[in-house]
Amino acid sequence: MIEAAARAALFSLDPETAHGLSIAALKTGLVPGLGLRADPRLRVQVAGLDFPNPLGMAAGFDKNAEVASELSRLGFGFVEVGTLTPKPQTGNPKPRIFRLVRDEAVINRLGFNNSGHAEALRRLTTRTKAGLLGVNIGANKDSPDRINDYVDGIRVFAHVADYFTVNVSSPNTPGLRSLQSRESLADLLARVLAVRDAQDRRVPVFLKIAPDLAEPDLDGIAAECLAQQIDGLVVTNTTLSRHGLTDLNSASEAGGLSGKPLFERSTIVLAKMRQRLGPGVPLIGVGGIGDAETAAEKIRAGADLVQLYTGFIYGGPRLPSRILRGLSKICDREGLATVLALRDTRTADYAGRPLPA
């Protein structure tokens, strides 16, 4: 009841104001601890890290690293903060987030609004640590050397991050996604991994890719990731496609689409990457997860771990614990000793599908 009222109140506000209130509510620490008991069948050990469960908060919710520990207390096994850029930047003019309620989707064109490395670092070094922390790094819009911005991110956060995500897939920074081309990626990964290797802690580095890539693009990314022995991929960011939307009013807004309508596309790309990379490379599946069944389906398509953001807007603070309970029930139902027994059971099916228009 209270939750339904809270959601109605938040949905009566402009989405960015509502987001600010959610962050403020989390900061008070008043959001209830949910008394969830850890299920050992949900533990996932990949990239040298021990995840208490496979469900993470995706990048973009906690751009400035303000509430990572509070989000962990809601049940998330890991939280990815950012995207963080070296210098603070304000992003695009408002309004720049749009809810498509009927489609359980969002379009955003924020453009990496964030408070910059220094402020986020201060927060992360003084916080009470709870849960695993990913730091998602990006480049300033006006940067003269974008690759150097990623290199800076690794240097700055190497002693606080459990893993890094190199985000080259936001559609809202002009030209950023061209870093996914094989030639640019070769240079980017070489420089990022070299600076990572020069730190005294070895922090795994993941690459986050777009869902709007054709088969030859996926070939090039997979080959380069294998050649440079990247630690994993996050698949996928938001899409420029408007396929499957019924809310045609907001559909014409520019920006990246997330939520339910992204599920099929991002899951197909995930499975195609699993096939190209083989069983050994960790994959984080993200895009359109809204319940335990969609989370499990990402794992069946090839994910070791999953993340969500838009589902949290529609599902509220109890969604992570609901999903974890649901994953435990799937383990009960199917007699699984570990949730990862689901992995790759439907990879061939998804990988064989054409990408929606």
Residues marked active site are found at: 170
The piece of 6-14, 29-37, 105-113, 323-331 that touches ligand FMN (CB under 6 A) is 105-113
Q: How far apart are CA 80 and CA 178, in angstroms?
A: 23
Question: Is 267 one of the binding residues for ligand FMN (CB under 6 A)?
Answer: no
The piece of 38-46, 53-61, 331-339, 341-349 that touches ligand FMN (CB under 6 A) is 53-61
At its nearest, how many Å lie between ligand FMN and the CB of residue 123? 16
At its nearest, how many Å lie between ligand FMN and the CB of residue 25? 17
If the CB atoms of residues 161 and 336 are measured against ligand FMN, the closer one turns out to be: 161
Question: Is 259 one of the binding residues for ligand FMN (CB under 6 A)?
Answer: yes
Question: Is 286 one of the binding residues for ligand FMN (CB under 6 A)?
Answer: yes
Q: What are phi and psi of 79, to 5 degrees?
A: -130, 130
At its nearest, how many Å lie between ligand FMN and the CB of residue 176? 10
Q: What are phi and psi of 25, to 5 degrees?
A: -65, -40
Question: Is 308 one of the binding residues for ligand FMN (CB under 6 A)?
Answer: yes
Residue 312 is inside which H or E element, if any?
helix 310-315
Member of 265, 309, 327, 339 binding ligand FMN (CB under 6 A): 309
Q: Mask 131-170, x = binds ligand FMN (CB under 6 A)?
A: -----x------------------------------x--x
Question: Is 294 one of the binding residues for ligand FMN (CB under 6 A)?
Answer: no
Tokens describing residue 252 = 């014409």
At its nearest, how many Å lie between ligand FMN and the CB of residue 264? 11
Q: What are phi and psi of 208, to 5 degrees?
A: -100, 125
Instruction: Give the DSSP letter string of 58-88.
Output: PTTTTTTSSSHHHHHHTT-SEEEEEEE-SS-
Whether residue 222 contacts residue 273, with contact meaning beta carbons closer than 8 Å, is answered with yes
Question: Which residues, 6+ apart, have CB-to-CB distance to 66 below 8 Å?
Answer: 23, 26, 27, 123
Q: How far apart are CA 53 and CA 39, in angstroms?
A: 8
Which residues from 221-240 bind ligand FMN, rule CB under 6 A?
A: 237-238
Q: How far apart are CA 303 and CA 327, in angstroms?
A: 14
Q: Residues interacting with ligand FMN, by CB under 6 A?
A: 58-60, 63, 82-83, 97, 106, 108, 110, 136, 167, 170, 208, 237-238, 258-259, 262, 286-289, 308-311
